[in-house]
Structure 1
């Protein structure tokens, strides 16, 4: 155990009480709505966090890289969905994981990828479990529910002897909304589109046991998940300022912050300079297009109390600029003296976490534990 005062800066902090509350809130909601929950662990990339999610009732995990899959499998988690479209160069490491006993599911959203998976699987005597990605909101990748290619991809996989595990979708456009009615509508659009795609497969005699949907906003906004078998969400475990602006959490729910130290001032500009620049916070400016722009993060006291009106308004590589919104604070040096420690809440928890090799998990007694996180692809 280490005390907060002994920590160097900048460092990423997890408020474990807030994190556990976030985990329980989501899991209780999924339980009440009668669906399995498969958290997306790309947010934390940390076994300690993932095990807390599983302990609360999560069944399996979602990852965004094969390195994550390898690391979490090494940590003892076997039920893993790799939720990024498969390409030929990644089939050998995927095969190696399955041969070691990992229940790895892979993804396809086009016939070319399906053919490559089938050809590679047959050549190596492996029956890959493949899910088809569905595009329910035009946000990113996937096959639209009514497109003919959906049936083509499924048939290619079946003809090659692969296992069609189901379909999945992610309503990433839900991040663009900020009112309950709009979030409810996009959640229903996500659900209905996924269910329709699954039904089209079943109508022609193809298997579709899993119907997987989810994003943090839709998971927390949907009224029901009729005909859905599982939900996925990721950033909910920490939350962040983008989610605060979307309206699915408050700043008091945000469990990730960056501990920083005041290192200088530009008093005539109303600036305090801290040692957390974009290398500590990331360059993510996700709140810039939302109704409340937090710059590079919301400034808090060392004990986590929000300091209203003060944000990290600028960031260089290792220097952060702390200032007051509106009129400059000419007493900035007095208010934030040299050596003062602060916490900065992030715009995007996934991006800020990715800047750090480890977290310092703050326990209920104020002491911290080091929790490692994964890097790379």
Structure 2
């Protein structure tokens, strides 16, 4: 069933399908140019229709952030899945059930304790889990350093039964704090070189390491070369967001996700436009706050998705958003934005904003919206 954007209940998460398709084609073309497989991280959309579009464009396999995602996309018919969060021993039973059902689920670890838990459980269940070792390429979060002796120790444990050492993977999350092409190219090369060095160290110890998996949206779009890498992972590129705009990898007119909201009141003396898009609609993510340009809770557009110069959603309560213009802009807000006016807000972080909704309203070039369900929870 389709609907017109003017009839949708608000707040609503709206996907501009034309923009989304362009973003998908752009990343696929980059992976093809660099000579690697693209394994998109579907935690951004968690949506069957979006993932179908990525695979149709040439993606091979997917990356997930929860085992619930893995189950949902396996039921959709996707079998090549990487669960890219260090495996908690208590979740091995879920992973086993997926593999026994025919899902080619691969998991990751970055510690001796994690590797032992996987292999001991695998041997007890007569299962050989496919495992990647997570590499810390930029001191961002998780992983083992390429020159740490524990790397080969983990690889040896995984090679002794109960598991198959599938390869190494990394995520240069520090790229999100950068904003120049030179810096992004440098961290993309660091991501590549550190992961390749880790693979070479494992191979030098006489152990197999067939796959080298790297990626984040900024590094994927900025990489100049990916020698030694077999696959590229990226996620938020499918929608982009204001954080990615500040990083410098997309224009504002490439952001494919917005929140449709309604004006529900005014505080004229303060210049406030009150909307029904509070932080429950936008998420609490204020990712641009630490960047060169702070966009509050989002930049405001008209219902057609055209940016309104100087208007931001500057604060939010649970169900109320407060939008206002920059100082010096004298706007009769009650006349220009009467109660009932529909606006669209571009979010800081597409993954976090999408997570507030059970479905997207997919808006096509005719202005018709079709509902696309998404998978939430763990």
Shorter-chain TM-score bucket reads: over 0.9
Question: C-alpha separation between the residues in 1 aligned to 2:247 and 2:4?
Answer: 34
CA drift at 1:327: 3.4
- Asked if structure 2 preserves the Cα contact closer than 8 Å seen for 1:66 and 1:93, the reply is yes
The change in CA–CA distance for 1:93 and 1:161 in structure 2 (over 3 A counts) is closer
Q: Match of 1:159, SS?
A: coil
1:136 match: secondary structure: coil
Match of 2:350 in 1: 349
The answer for the alignment partner of 2:335 in structure 1 is 334
Partner residue, 1:263: 264
Q: Deviations over 1:69-103 (max 9, x none)?
A: 01111111110000000111000000000000000
Q: Counterparts of 1:87-102 in structure 2 under 5 Å?
A: 87-102=88-103
3-state secondary structure, aligned to 2:318: coil
1:218-260 deviation per Cα after TM superposition (whole angstroms, max 9, x unaligned): 0000101011000000000000000000000010000000000
* 3-state SS of paired residue (2:319): coil
Return the offset for 1:289: 1.2
Cα distance, 1:330 vs structure 2: 5.4
Superposed CA RMSD in Å reads: 0.8
Residues in 1 aligned to 2:17 and 2:158: alpha-carbon distance in whole angstroms: 43
Please give the alpha-carbon distance, in whole angstroms, between the structure 2 residues aligned to 1:192 and 1:162.
26
Counterpart for residue 222 of structure 2: 221
Runs of 5+ unmatched residues, structure 1:
none
Which runs of no fewer than 5 residues in structure 2 stay unpaired? none
Query: How far apart are 1:39 and its partner, in Å?
Result: 0.2
Query: TM-score, normalization: structure 2?
Result: 0.99
Structure 2 residue 325 is the aligned partner of structure 1 residue 297:
no
Structure 2: distance between partners of 1:182 and 1:332: 41
Partner of 2:254: 253
The aligned length equals: 377
**Counterparts in 2 of 1:78-117, with a 5 A limit?**
78-117=79-118
Q: Which position in structure 1 is the counterpart of 2:367? A: 366
Question: How far 1:362 sits from its partner (Å)?
Answer: 0.3
Distance 1:216 1:277 in 2: 27
Runs of 4+ in structure 1 over 3 Å off: 327-330
Whether contact under 8 Å (2:175, 2:184) holds in the other structure is: yes
Q: Which residue of 1 aligns with 2:71?
A: 70
CA distance in 2, matches of 1:326, 1:94: 54
Aligned residue in 1 for 2:160: 159
- Asked if 1:50 is matched to 2:51, the reply is yes
Shift of residue 126, structure 1, vs aligned partner: 0.5
Give the aligned partner of residue 244 of structure 1: 245
Report the 3-state secondary structure (helix = DSSP H, G, I; strand = E; otherwise coil) of the residue aligned with 1:243. helix
CA shift for structure 1 position 329:
4.3
Q: Does the Cα contact within 8 Å between 2:126 and 2:162 map onto a contact in 1?
A: no
Q: What secondary structure does 2:114 align onto?
A: helix
